[in-house]
Structure 1
Amino acid sequence: MTTKTTTPPLVSRLLHPDVDGLSPAYFGMVMATGIVSLAANQIGLPIVAWALFGVAGLAYLVLWWLTLLRLLRHPRRMLADVSDHLRGPGFFTMVAASSILGSQCLILLELTAVGFAFWCAAVVLWLGLTYTIFTIFTVKAEKPTLDKGINGAWLLAVVATQSIAVLATLLAARLEQPYRLDLNFLALSMWLWGGMLYIWMMSLIFYRYTFFAFSPGDLSPPYWINMGAMAISTLAGSFLIQNAQDAWFLHSIQPFIKGFTIFYWATGTWWIPMLVILGIWRHIYKRFPLRYDPLYWGAVFPLGMYAVATHQMDQAMGFHFLGTVSTAFSWVALGAWGLAFVGYLLTLIRRRPQ
């Protein structure tokens, strides 16, 4: 008589993952964890920063494994996601996740070679995704209407672009000439392009906000990227200001960079009360259920990025009066990350394998 052994549901799910419905935006978990790690580091919590760094690195490896597994098992579903107006932009989280991990390697570990490797990977991913996704969106025969085809996730393309600029400035500060000059020029170009891309996309998103019917279900968490895209633009501009002494072209346009950096920060700051009000309208007034969704990492990331960007701009500009704001948002970001992570663990435990 043989006895049949049963595998616990959680173990079975880890060994045989159901990757068919994996969200393209799940690398937002790495983005959020990585930037909250840097926020914790700047408020004097190195142990927390290192722990989150480990979580981000592990999540990055696991998500790449799941993504490749999905590509092998469900290539048609992957292609459908790439060409989908709502899900396609989520792939840009791969770029930003790679850049943020590279930034952590530079800031926490001082590993320039590893940071450069992450930067190269991010650039390759950015080139491939940018010209694949937007080409498909342009030439596909059937397209959704504006109110059905655009949301805040589109701004992940801006975040991906600016993340490359941020890592390039960090690398430039650690490399000798002529690479320092080259990286600073590339960072400036990406920073300017990211700003232009934000203007294009934000115009469409704001038009969708104000001239089409808006239901609670339409207000998905990626709308927080409205603020996050401006926060990471602020961070890139702050690093460019600090690198101006090592690049003559940055020094010559430094007033312009400073002005636009404050412009980005002010725009991102304006979005915060607006997004909080819309969140209250969604979950309290309209009673939309609040439950874990992978897209909520896209709401945690902007909080951490705003904390880090505000701190860096405060230092680069010599203001020294925004420290309280940066510290407060660092703690808010840590709390938001903790809630999202607990929600993720509960979902992982409760979900049964197919």
Structure 2
Amino acid sequence: MLWGMETAVRPEPALHPLREHLAAGLKGLHPAYFALVMATGIVSIVSDLLGLREAATFLFWLNVPAYGVLWALFAARALVFPRALAADLASHQRGPGFFTAVAATCVLGLQLLLLRGDAAAALALWWVGMLLWCACTYAVFVVLAVRDPKPTLGEGINGGWLVAVVATQSVVVLGTRTLVPRFPGSEAVLFFLASLWLCGGMLYVWMISLIFYRYMFFRFSPSDLMPPYWINMGAVAISVVAGTSLAAAAPGSAFLGALLPFVKGLTLMFWATATWWIPMLVLLGIWRHGGPSRIRIAYDPLYWGLVFPLGMYALCTYRLGELFAMPVLPWVARAFATVALAAWLLTALGLTGRILQLVVLAVRSLHAERGAAGPQPGSLERMARRS
């Protein structure tokens, strides 16, 4: 009777700490985590341009499984935590992060083309990126438009919104590399890509106006200045790369040939805008981490959104130097490529530390399970026989 009472009041076993930690991580997986693939891909491409072939190849082979793992994690999240995924889609803070999947797909396609020469795989990824762009554009923006209630502008807008611009221009960049050779002389293809490029430019104008307004006329604390604000610069940097790619296709096209002065001028304006942002963002970063209310630097997946713009600025400066035959610009590109590579290494070190924490937690959980298990079934009988 006493034994029955003891078993009746025995508490429920605690949840496995590692499983609990992993479940919480999967549930809270940020939609913008594909920025890891974006950052790794662009640093790989820039490394190849600068002659660091081994580093470029290493980062490529690192990026391919990372892309697959992220899709597996997002698929698992959609199956296990569909409500959390739906909540992100309707979130002004996290919803635009879904556009990183578009940009990551196109950046990986560009890697496949430039580093491996695999035009077929790159074209396939362009189609995937194009479909994802359509899905994200008309899912995220429509859901946010009809959401009720909505946050205030100060609470809802951030630099992460500009990933929509990055996604749009990444489709243009990969399209000029895959569709134009596939359909030589097709004015329809060039018309479509040029229109998409201009669409991305208008998206930037709309969004950066709201972001700058938020900077100047709303209370701004260090915690508000998240790493994705570097996309302020990265979005126009990739617009430069898209513009130079279109300009390179102009000699064989009557349509683009007529627009070439306009394309070159707008591309230069994008580069000048990206360059203007850099000192501003550096000073704001110093204020965020070195001011009276400073925030300690710690690993955050959003820091991949800082690495990508640095690498993209290096690439766009290099391409602009080729377009205008200015030998000084490739030197600037090399300097920023070094900074981008250093930023990637630091962020990767933070991610490695996070993974090591999970490994330590797994080992501790395993030891705790073995200690709590006690003698195995049948061990008491064997001990009694020996005695």
2:328 to 301, 321, 327: 321
Preserved contact between residue 168 and residue 184 of structure 1 (Cα < 8 Å) = no
- Looking at structure 1, the residues matched to 202 and 171 of structure 2 have their Cα atoms a distance apart, in angstroms, of 15
Preserved contact between residue 238 and residue 316 of structure 2 (Cα < 8 Å) = yes
Q: How much does 1:184 deviate?
A: 2.2
1:212 to 209, 218, 224: 218
2:257 to 228, 251, 255: 251
Q: How much does 1:58 deviate?
A: 1.1
- Residues 1:167 and 2:174 are matched in the alignment: yes
**Further displaced range: 65-74 or 134-143:** 134-143
The 3 A distance-change label for structure 1 pair 85 and 319 is same
- Looking at structure 2, the residues matched to 17 and 246 of structure 1 have their Cα atoms a distance apart, in angstroms, of 54
Q: How much does 1:257 deviate?
A: 0.2
2:239 is aligned to 233
Q: TM-score, normalising length from structure 2?
A: 0.86
1:30 to 25, 37, 46: 37
- Residues 1:280 and 2:286 are matched in the alignment: yes
- Residues 1:224 and 2:230 are matched in the alignment: yes
The 3 A distance-change label for structure 1 pair 60 and 216 is same
Preserved contact between residue 123 and residue 179 of structure 2 (Cα < 8 Å) = no
2:138 is aligned to 131
Q: How much does 1:186 deviate?
A: 1.9
The 3 A distance-change label for structure 1 pair 270 and 15 is closer
1:264 to 270, 279, 304: 270
Can you give the 5+ residue segments of structure 1 that lack an aligned partner in the other structure? 1-8
Corresponding residue pairs, total:
345
- Looking at structure 1, the residues matched to 212 and 160 of structure 2 have their Cα atoms a distance apart, in angstroms, of 13
Matched AA of 2:61: G
Q: How much does 1:227 deviate?
A: 0.2
2:6 is aligned to none
Matched AA of 2:171: I
1:302 is aligned to 309
- Looking at structure 1, the residues matched to 275 and 315 of structure 2 have their Cα atoms a distance apart, in angstroms, of 13
Q: TM-score, normalising length from structure 1?
A: 0.94
The within-5 A match list for 1:149-160 is 149-160=156-167
- Looking at structure 1, the residues matched to 254 and 54 of structure 2 have their Cα atoms a distance apart, in angstroms, of 39
**Further displaced range: 107-116 or 15-24:** 15-24
1:61 is aligned to 68
- Looking at structure 2, the residues matched to 153 and 342 of structure 1 have their Cα atoms a distance apart, in angstroms, of 23
Matched AA of 1:268: A
The within-5 A match list for 1:170-209 is 170-177=177-184, 180-209=186-215
For residue 26 of structure 2, give the secondary structure of its aligned residue in structure 1.
coil
- Looking at structure 2, the residues matched to 184 and 108 of structure 1 have their Cα atoms a distance apart, in angstroms, of 24
Higher normalized contact order (CA 8 Å, seq sep 6+, divided by chain length): 1
Q: Deviations over 1:299-353 (max 9, x none)?
A: 0000000001110111122222211100000111000000000000101211446
Q: Deviations over 1:188-223 (max 9, x none)?
A: 111100000000000000000000000000000000
1:84 is aligned to 91
- Looking at structure 1, the residues matched to 35 and 63 of structure 2 have their Cα atoms a distance apart, in angstroms, of 10
Q: How much does 1:15 deviate?
A: 9.3
- Residues 1:144 and 2:164 are matched in the alignment: no
Matched AA of 1:143: K
The 3 A distance-change label for structure 1 pair 14 and 331 is farther
Preserved contact between residue 41 and residue 108 of structure 2 (Cα < 8 Å) = yes
Preserved contact between residue 165 and residue 186 of structure 1 (Cα < 8 Å) = no
Preserved contact between residue 162 and residue 232 of structure 1 (Cα < 8 Å) = yes
Matched AA of 1:305: M
For residue 181 of structure 2, give the secondary structure of its aligned residue in structure 1.
coil
Q: How much does 1:17 deviate?
A: 8.7
- Looking at structure 2, the residues matched to 39 and 301 of structure 1 have their Cα atoms a distance apart, in angstroms, of 11
Q: How much does 1:42 deviate?
A: 0.7
Tell me the percent identity.
Answer: 50
- Looking at structure 2, the residues matched to 159 and 330 of structure 1 have their Cα atoms a distance apart, in angstroms, of 19
The 3 A distance-change label for structure 1 pair 236 and 204 is same
Matched AA of 1:184: L
Matched AA of 1:272: I
1:348 is aligned to 355
Q: Deviations over 1:267-292 (max 9, x none)?
A: 00000000000000000113211000
Q: Deviations over 1:2-27 (max 9, x none)?
A: xxxxxxx99x8999894111110000
Preserved contact between residue 106 and residue 171 of structure 2 (Cα < 8 Å) = yes
Larger Rg: 2
Preserved contact between residue 96 and residue 140 of structure 2 (Cα < 8 Å) = yes
- Looking at structure 2, the residues matched to 183 and 48 of structure 1 have their Cα atoms a distance apart, in angstroms, of 34
- Looking at structure 2, the residues matched to 30 and 105 of structure 1 have their Cα atoms a distance apart, in angstroms, of 13
1:19 is aligned to 26
Preserved contact between residue 187 and residue 255 of structure 2 (Cα < 8 Å) = no
